[in-house]
């Protein structure tokens, strides 16, 4: 299966795909002109744990958006640094391979607003 067909399957099922420093950019590229929402979190972050089920719900609501999550652990630190993460959770919304919106903190309403905004542009 190709990355693209895996993405289409995940989106159709309303799934959040776990990425790492090696898989993130190929998946973003394969998403084409679809919006990509990346949840950058850590295992120990309380607000991240609160947002996780809400993020899952969004993936089930917006089937035309690719939802990814990145554990900002030691292994993925280079990618987290490249994406300019300062706090967790941070949500990055990409379109055509570029970050177009960012929501920091467990701000669900702000995240929904940002997703709606990118989808309608």
E strand or H helix at 40: strand 35-41
Which residues fall within 8 angstroms of residue 50, CB to CB, at 6 or more apart?
106
The residues annotated with a catalytic role in the active site are: 45, 48
Count of Cβ atoms closer than 10 Å to residue 58 Cβ? 20
Q: Measured in whole angstroms, how far is the alpha carbon of residue 10 from the centre of its chain?
A: 13
Phi, psi of 43 (to 5 degrees): -65, -35
């Amino acid at each position: 299966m190709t990355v693209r067909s895996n993405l289409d399957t995940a989106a159709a099922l309303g799934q959040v795909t776990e990425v790492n420093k090696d898989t993130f950019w190929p998946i973003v590229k394969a998403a084409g002109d679809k919006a990509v929402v990346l949840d950058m979190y850590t295992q120990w972050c309380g607000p991240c744990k609160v947002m996780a089920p809400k993020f899952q719900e969004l993936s089930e609501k917006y089937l035309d958006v690719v939802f990814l999550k990145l554990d900002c652990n030691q292994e993925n630190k280079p990618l987290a640094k490249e994406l300019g993460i300062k706090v967790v959770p941070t949500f990055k919304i990409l379109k055509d391979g570029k970050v177009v919106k960012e929501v920091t903190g467990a701000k669900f309403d702000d995240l929904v607003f940002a997703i709606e905004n990118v989808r309608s542009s």
